[in-house]
Structure 1
Amino acid sequence: MSGTTINPQLSAAELEEQSNPVGEFIQETLALTRRLFIQLRRRPSTLIAGVIQPLMWLILFGALFQNAPEGLFGETTNYGQFLGAGVIVFTAFAGALNAGLPVMFDREFGFLNRLLVAPLASRFSIVLASAIYIVTLSFVQTAAIVTAASFMGAGLPGIAGLAVIALVVLLLVLGVTGLSLGLAFALPGHIELIAVIFVTNLPLLFASTALAPLSFMPKWLQVVATLNPLSYAIEPIRYLYVHESWSWGSVVMAAPFGEVTFGAALLVLLGFAIAALLLIQPLLRRRFA
């Protein structure tokens, strides 16, 4: 009779661990996620600042563009509708780009090395825990931005629209968190990581459709903006604000190479997230002296 050979000397707990790697992976992920939220509870100013900053962006930039010429915002004259999408996406992007900093500090203090030599079911639990943490913060920030924008006259998308906004934020955060964690494993220290974050942040903001429509940009910047994954997150959210009805075939962006539909934009974000998470897999196998 064929079957799995079980060592009778193993305890019941050891047998359970051997036979349930999925449960072990979930347990590791929950433990690492809990650690991040404990750190947040000890430093709540991180969350408070993370909510206040995008609201300031929305209010100040909204006031700046309130008297802008008609037609600057494309199909809408409501600056809250136009800027709300950009602020939501850029806030989620900035938070996810900083996801590698806690891992880098853990690495420099030696905690990460001890974690990597532990018998983890999968080192991907480190990535997933960071993603869960950043996604949760991003959802809180998005809820604050959507609420503030509604009071500024932008309106409120329906239940389906809000669900799609959550999906867009999730896909973007997964991809950028993966890249940030990859940098935390690849770069020599937190100074280099912070430098990359500073260098990357604003150029990607201005080279997207967050602050101006694609048609308002020079041709070369239009090409750059359509290669920027932020634009593929901003335009579907903006479309939800401007149009009451939408479908996966609705055109959300007129790129230089052709029209981009709602579904195509989400597929780009999905591909970006999958590619980023796959690219960091070799880095997760590293050990640090």
Structure 2
Amino acid sequence: MTVTDVVRVALPRGGSSHDVRAVRVVLHREMLRFVNDRTRMVSSLVQPVLMLFVLGTGIGSLVRSSIPGIDFRTFMFPGMIAMTVITTGMFSAASIVWDREFGFLREMLVAPVGRGAIVLGKCLGGAIVATVQGVIILALAGVVGVPYAPGLLLTLVGEMFLAAFTITAFGTLLAARMKSMQSFFGVMQMAIMPMVFLSGAMFPLANLPSWLHVLTTVNPLTYAVDPMRHAVFGYLSVSPQVDAALNPGIVWFGWRLPIGLELGVVAVLAAVLLGFAISQFKRAE
């Protein structure tokens, strides 16, 4: 073999078509993982169902006289949907750490596709899985006095998907640098519990102490729970007093935010978190 005998090696070129295919492949993998893991499917539903029917019934028996005409579980229902979505979305992001431990993540990162496509596929897959879980809880609406109105159901599904995508992007950002499942789950629990408790999922946002009002206002999950509750209360017949007590909305300096602005906050946060997650993956091994 002479010096001039050079063997040409053709390297696969990336491109938009490869990126779109990568998004589909990662999304499909997330769906297959969810369908084949029935234990995860059931366990993620246990906590919100217990909170709704046990905690909701217990608290409802104490406050029944102060909120006539409505079951307290009806008030908690949007919050339990949000809890299902946030838990499932974070668990979907946890698979990144699992893939890193077993070497599959490295194989994806060396593929001739943009890492943004991998992250987007992961977030879309996690959002769809979390939305499916939320729809299962949504099927219980009639049991707690929420009507099965098509407009309401479609609105809630759309809001669930937006919240699910945001929380999955947040979980993906956290998982991008985590080296072990133990570390990720420790951080996940530290993040999830305050977000759920400070979102208004279990108590009304009206008449809170000033320090608690500030915490609920800066909590991103509040802006996902409130539109769901507003949608539900739009289909209920309750007195203005009860509506003001249980559905006061999010207030900034005496101004109640429009629902469109609340959803806009969640959408902007989703884009920002997705951008940071992609940035972290570009710096990953």
Please classify the TM superposition score into its range, dividing by the shorter chain length: 0.7 to 0.9
Q: Is the 8 A contact 1:81 1:155 kept in 2?
A: no
Query: Within 5 Å, which residues of 2 pair with 1:270-285?
Result: 270-285=267-282
Q: Which residue of structure 2 lines up, in the alignment, with residue 125 of structure 1?
A: 117
How many angstroms does 1:53 deviate by? 3.5
Which runs of 5 or more residues in structure 1 are unaligned?
A: 1-8, 246-250
Q: Is the 8 A contact 1:54 1:87 kept in 2?
A: yes
Structure 2 Cα separation of the partners of residues 252 and 132 of structure 1: 32
Structure 1 Cα separation of the partners of residues 213 and 284 of structure 2: 42
Of residues 23, 26, 29 in structure 2, which corresponds to 1:29? 23
Flag the 1:193–1:286 CA change in 2: closer, same or farther, 3 A: same
The 3-state SS of whatever aligns with 1:229 is: coil
How many angstroms does 1:263 deviate by? 1.0
Of residues 94, 102, 110 in structure 1, which corresponds to 2:87? 94
Q: Which residue of structure 1 lines up, in the alignment, with residue 136 of structure 2?
A: 144
How many angstroms does 1:10 deviate by? 11
Q: Which residue of structure 2 lines up, in the alignment, with residue 49 of structure 1?
A: 43
Structure 2 Cα separation of the partners of residues 25 and 33 of structure 1: 12
The 3-state SS of whatever aligns with 1:168 is: helix
Query: Within 5 Å, which residues of 2 pair with 1:183-194?
Result: 183-194=174-185
Flag the 1:34–1:231 CA change in 2: closer, same or farther, 3 A: same
Structure 2 Cα separation of the partners of residues 172 and 41 of structure 1: 21
Q: What TM-score comes out, normalization by structure 1 length? A: 0.82
Q: Which residue of structure 2 lines up, in the alignment, with residue 134 of structure 1?
A: 126
- State the one-letter code of the partner of 1:123: R
The 3-state SS of whatever aligns with 1:239 is: helix
Q: Is the 8 A contact 1:185 1:284 kept in 2?
A: yes
The 3-state SS of whatever aligns with 1:154 is: coil
Measured on the aligned residues, the alpha-carbon RMSD in Å equals: 2.7
Flag the 1:222–1:287 CA change in 2: closer, same or farther, 3 A: closer
Q: Comparing 96-105 with 220-229, which one deviates more in the overlay?
A: 96-105
Could you list the per-position Cα deviations for residues 47-100 of structure 1 after superposition, in whole angstroms to 9, with x for gaps in the alignment? Answer: 122234322222112211221325766x96322320111001121112212232
How many angstroms does 1:221 deviate by? 0.6
Structure 2 Cα separation of the partners of residues 262 and 217 of structure 1: 20
The 3-state SS of whatever aligns with 2:145 is: helix
Q: Is the 8 A contact 1:175 1:273 kept in 2?
A: yes
How many angstroms does 1:203 deviate by? 1.3
- State the one-letter code of the partner of 2:198: A
Q: Which residue of structure 2 lines up, in the alignment, with residue 169 of structure 1?
A: 160
Percent identity between matched residues is 22
Flag the 1:89–1:171 CA change in 2: closer, same or farther, 3 A: same
Query: Within 5 Å, which residues of 2 pair with 1:1-289?
Result: 21-70=15-64, 77-120=70-113, 122-156=114-148, 158-244=149-235, 253-257=249-253, 258-288=255-285
> How many residue pairs align between the two structures?
267
- State the one-letter code of the partner of 1:287: A
How many angstroms does 1:266 deviate by? 0.8
Q: Is the 8 A contact 1:154 1:241 kept in 2?
A: yes
How many angstroms does 1:276 deviate by? 0.8
Structure 2 Cα separation of the partners of residues 211 and 169 of structure 1: 17
Flag the 1:252–1:163 CA change in 2: closer, same or farther, 3 A: farther
The 3-state SS of whatever aligns with 1:285 is: helix
Q: Is the 8 A contact 2:100 2:179 kept in 1?
A: no
Q: What TM-score comes out, normalization by structure 2 length? A: 0.83
Structure 2 Cα separation of the partners of residues 272 and 71 of structure 1: 39
Q: Is the 8 A contact 2:177 2:284 kept in 1?
A: no
Structure 2 Cα separation of the partners of residues 97 and 87 of structure 1: 15
- State the one-letter code of the partner of 1:127: V
Q: Comparing 133-142 with 212-221, which one deviates more in the overlay?
A: 133-142
Q: Which residue of structure 1 lines up, in the alignment, with residue 239 of structure 2?
A: none
Which runs of 5 or more residues in structure 2 are unaligned?
A: 1-7, 237-246
The 3-state SS of whatever aligns with 2:96 is: helix
Structure 2 Cα separation of the partners of residues 222 and 47 of structure 1: 34
Q: Is the 8 A contact 1:168 1:269 kept in 2?
A: no
Q: Is the 8 A contact 2:123 2:172 kept in 1?
A: no
Structure 1 Cα separation of the partners of residues 234 and 142 of structure 2: 15
